[in-house]
Every structure is written in structure tokens, then in C-alpha cells.
Structure 1
């Protein structure tokens, strides 16, 4: 029984050791990637329209809708190759309104609003489209190309 009792404090140290938190790639060194959603005289757009990600890196996709209508970001194939840690919606003062977790492939962003989508790419991917699937938006040019290395 004494070896078990002696092992309990060691186990507690191992479980709470901050060095173990370093292995959580979903929270370390998050890279911000702003994607602007909008429209112009030339049609609808996502800026930038070419995106590159790396497996194992944590990203915050900052989806900024600068338009007067709602837009959507659909990851399509990329959605199957990333882990979504969460999506956050905040009010203008930065107070949390909602946090959504689980497998997510598309997000609608209201007019003039911003949503943060936290992802970690887990699988490589050749160029694939990120699109807005709202009626007429894709046809108006609302797409971007994404690659995961």
C-alpha cells in the first residue's frame, strides 16, 4: 500500500505540470487570419482570395462582413481536414455573446458583424475552394482558394 500512497503525489504533479500544457497545439501561438466578406461594383468577394495553412498550427479566422447583407463562409473540403476548437461571437464591446463547439463546416456572418473561428489543420490538402453558398453569392465571385501544407 505504501508504494501506491507515495505515487499519488507524483501523479498529481504529472497531471498539473504546466509543461504538459505545451502539447496543446489548439491554444498555442494562434495565428490571426482576417477574411473580409463584402461586395463591390465588380461582384462579391472574400479577401484575401488565396489562403495557406500549415498542419498543427492554430489559427483564428477573423470573419469580417463589411457588407450590408449577410454572407457565409463554407470550408467545404477544408472542413473535413481541420479541427474546429470553437467559434466566438462577441458584441461591439468585445463581450462574449456565444461560443459554439463541435464539427462546423460553415458560418453565416451578419451585416457589419465579425465572428472568430478557431481551427487547427490536421491533414494536408491541395488547393480547395472556400465559398459563400448563399443564393447568387458564389456566382457573383464569392470564393477563396485554400491550401493546407
Structure 2
């Protein structure tokens, strides 16, 4: 290997090893923590909105984002920007059976949109790995009036510190 190729390879390895320690980036065993639970209600009877519509997370912490849909319409929790700033550990579809929640399905990998049907719940387990402000949180379901739920106010903001 030539001197320059070797120098570039060493520089790349150094950059990768330092990358986790750069400001705005998380490091360590990020998925093995006890999760911080954050609940977001997707809509309410007759209302298209996220409750709350402003979310705040911290890099390097494991979160379980519980998405509950108590409304009579399906809703999306969609944000391409948010999905680029987190590591998704898993998404679970859960259902209450008696006194306990039962996991019906689990998904892994890159997730940017979750649809939750009326009366159902999904859990998004993730670790934020980059800081920033997200303004593209929305519900893109189109209603009978031809407008999206976002057009009716179902939008939100996410800040990752």
C-alpha cells in the first residue's frame, strides 16, 4: 500500500473513532438503558392534533415513545427529519388484553412513519444520535374533505438537544 493510501486509511479510522465524541453526537451503549417513556395522543374525537405537539429529547438517552390513538380515525406520526436523527431500536404494536399490554408485532430498522389505527397503540423505541430542531412532524391522512389532517392542524415540532 502506498504512503498516501495508508495515510488516508489511518485518517478515516481516526475520524470514525472520534466521530462518536464530537459535539452533537451520542456515544456508548445507547440501546441497553431503561427507557424514558413519552406519551403522545394522536388526535381526539373530532380533533386532528398531536397532544403534546412539542416534543423534546436528549441525545444518548433511550426513549419509548407511546403513540396512542383514542380518536375515531387513523393517524400518522410522520417525520423524515426525525428519522434521520435517531437510532430506532424497535417499533412494537401493542394491545391491551385484560390488565396487561401484549405485543402483537415488532419492527426493526429505519422507520420514518407510523400509522396507528383508532383505539390502538404503538411504541417507538429509539435513541437520538444527533441534535437539531424538526418541523416536519405531521399526519398525512387525507380526510373526506380532501384535506390532510396536517392541514387541519395535526403538525408538531421535535427538539433534540
For Structure 1 versus Structure 2, the TM-score category normalised by the shorter chain is 0.7 to 0.9
Q: Which runs of 5+ in 1 are unaligned?
A: 1-22
Q: Is residue 29 from structure 1 mapped to residue 34 from structure 2 by the alignment? A: yes
Show CA shifts across 1:102-132 (max 9, x none). 0000000010101000010001112423111
**How many pairs are equivalent?**
126
Once the two structures are superposed, the pairs formed by residues 131-142 of structure 1 within 5 Å of their partners are 131-135=138-142, 136-142=148-154
Q: Is residue 81 from structure 1 mapped to residue 96 from structure 2 by the alignment? A: no
Which of 78, 91, 96 does residue 95 from structure 2 map onto? 91
Q: Which residue of 2 aligns with 1:72?
A: 76
Tell whether the 8 Å contact from 1:65 to 1:113 is kept in structure 2 after alignment: yes
Which has the higher mean CA deviation after the structures are superposed, 102-111 or 120-129? 120-129
TM-score (norm 1): 0.79
Secondary structure of 2:96's partner? coil
Point out 4+ residue stretches in structure 1 off by more than 2 angstroms.
Answer: 126-129
* Cα separation, 2, equivalents of 1:56 and 1:33: 16
* Cα separation, 2, equivalents of 1:79 and 1:129: 11
* Cα separation, 2, equivalents of 1:88 and 1:65: 14
Q: Is residue 145 from structure 1 mapped to residue 145 from structure 2 by the alignment? A: no
* Cα separation, 2, equivalents of 1:74 and 1:118: 15
Tell me how large the CA RMSD over aligned residues is. 1.4
Which of 124, 127, 130 does residue 123 from structure 1 map onto? 130
Q: Which runs of 5+ in 2 are unaligned?
A: 1-27, 143-147
Show CA shifts across 1:57-80 (max 9, x none). 110000000101100100221111
Q: Which residue of 1 aligns with 2:63?
A: 59
TM-score (norm 2): 0.73
Tell whether the 8 Å contact from 1:65 to 1:109 is kept in structure 2 after alignment: yes
